[in-house]
Amino acid sequence: MKIAILDRDTISKDGDISLEPFRELGELSVFSATAPHETVEHIGSAQAVLCNKVMITADIMEQCPQLEYIGLFATGFNNVDIAYAARKGITVCNAGSYSANAVAQQTFAYILDHFSRIRDYDRLVKNGEWERSPTFSMLTLPTAELEGKTLAVVGLGSIGSRVAELGKAFGMKIIAVTNRPKPDCPYETADIITAAKQADVLTLHCPLTDRTRGMVNMKLLSVMKSSAILINTSRGGTVCEEDLAHALSSGMIAGAYLDVLEKEPMSPETPLKNAKNCVITPHTSWAALETRERLVRIVHNCLMSWQNGTPINKVN
């Protein structure tokens, strides 16, 4: 079997993650990256393709008649035409819940940064303001405890559930926004507008679908507290960037922490680049070393299971 890995550099930095185990499963071709015009050529006659963010459209699949399997180095699968793959009999498998701990950890790094003001106080200290302080403790910037704050979690999959667990441990009130509430769900559930009205923190952990695309828009932002913050570690397309930039510049909400944008790498034209109180990280919440090692193990296991006739983590 021929196997093609299309975007190695999204998984492994300077070889810190080995992809050699895939050679046990077939004849392996590895590409550091794949531009759209190179996709058909790089897939070639491979029966199995592994990728992270390369677009696998209906047209690409039509031009690659040998293709039988698409394995994703990701939880999201919006870069693959799932319906067309199903019609063509091409199995698509994702990596499931590999990044729950890492993404939840970064979500709380954002939350703690906002409420504890660590970066801001460090900046004051480095500027010499503590040296000039008349008291031993500076009270220049307001901080707050998480206890009693309301954490609205949009999406209660593996990541959202982990975020909710951590929030509960901090004594936060959890409101879950989910399309499929379980009968034994331990949290209050609500629609997104109701949750946004109550939230001190609104955090997104949902897939990008027709239903979620642009759901954070002026209508939603206008009902949030002026003291609330938005966190997005899901997909950039869930947020209308112009609306969020306006909400931040006008003080409609207190801040935003974003690990994803609608266009990645970030476009210089994004209205959020210089938005007030907006912290942007370059899609790194999932990228801890241990997380990427786990990811490769899962993708390897998915491909091996499919080869053995018992596919796991199918999304189509």
Q: What is the per-residue pLDDT across 272-281, written as a single tens digit (0 to 9) for each?
A: 999 999 999 9
The pLDDT of residue 279: 98
The yes-or-no verdict on residue 182 having pLDDT over 90 is: no
Q: How confident is the model at residue 255 (pLDDT cuts 50, 70, 90)?
A: very high
The yes-or-no verdict on residue 140 having pLDDT over 90 is: yes
What is the arithmetic mean of pLDDT over 17-30? 96
Q: And the tokens for 128?
A: 């010499």
The pLDDT of residue 222: 98
What is the arithmetic mean of pLDDT over 260-265? 95
The yes-or-no verdict on residue 24 having pLDDT over 90 is: yes
What is the arithmetic mean of pLDDT over 32-40? 97
Percent of the chain, pLDDT > 70? Answer: 100
The yes-or-no verdict on residue 313 having pLDDT over 90 is: yes
Tell me how far apart the alpha carbons of residues 170 and 34 are, in angstroms, rounded to a whole number.
43
Q: How confident is the model at residue 183 (pLDDT cuts 50, 70, 90)?
A: confident
36: preceding bond cis by omega (within 30 degrees)? no
What is the arithmetic mean of pLDDT over 299-306? 98
Task: Determine which of 138-147, 179-188, 250-259 has the lowest per-residue pLDDT on average.
Answer: 179-188
Please report the DSSP string for 203-252 in residue order. Answer: EE-----TTTTT-BSHHHHTTS-TT-EEEE-S-GGGB-HHHHHHHHHTTS
Instruction: Report if pTM > 0.85.
Output: yes
Tell me how far apart the alpha carbons of residues 65 and 187 are, in angstroms, rounded to a whole number.
47
Task: Find out whether 19 and 296 touch, Cβ atoms under 8 Å.
Answer: yes
Same fold, 2-98+289-307 and 100-280: yes
Beta bridge partners of 13: none
3-class secondary-structure state, position 144: coil
The pLDDT of residue 96: 81
The pLDDT of residue 181: 79
Of 51, 17, 4, which is closest to residue 287 (Cα–Cα)?
17
Tell me how far apart the alpha carbons of residues 163 and 147 are, in angstroms, rounded to a whole number.
15
Q: How confident is the model at residue 102 (pLDDT cuts 50, 70, 90)?
A: very high
What's domain 100-280's superfamily in CATH? NAD(P)-binding Rossmann-like Domain (3.40.50.720)
- Residue of higher predicted confidence among 208 and 22: 22
Q: How confident is the model at residue 193 (pLDDT cuts 50, 70, 90)?
A: very high
Going from N- to C-terminal start, the domains of the chain cover 2-98+289-307, 100-280
What's domain 2-98+289-307's superfamily in CATH? NAD(P)-binding Rossmann-like Domain (3.40.50.720)
**Catalytic positions, please?**
235, 264, 283
Mapping DSSP onto H, E and C, the string for 75-86 reads CCCCCECHHHHH
What is the arithmetic mean of pLDDT over 102-127? 97
Strand ranges across the sheet with 69-72: 27-30, 2-5, 48-51, 69-72, 91-93
Distance of CA 4 to the CA centre of its chain: 25
- Residue of higher predicted confidence among 97 and 205: 205
The yes-or-no verdict on residue 307 having pLDDT over 90 is: yes
The pLDDT of residue 76: 84
Q: Which helix (H) or strand (E) holds 109?
A: helix 100-116
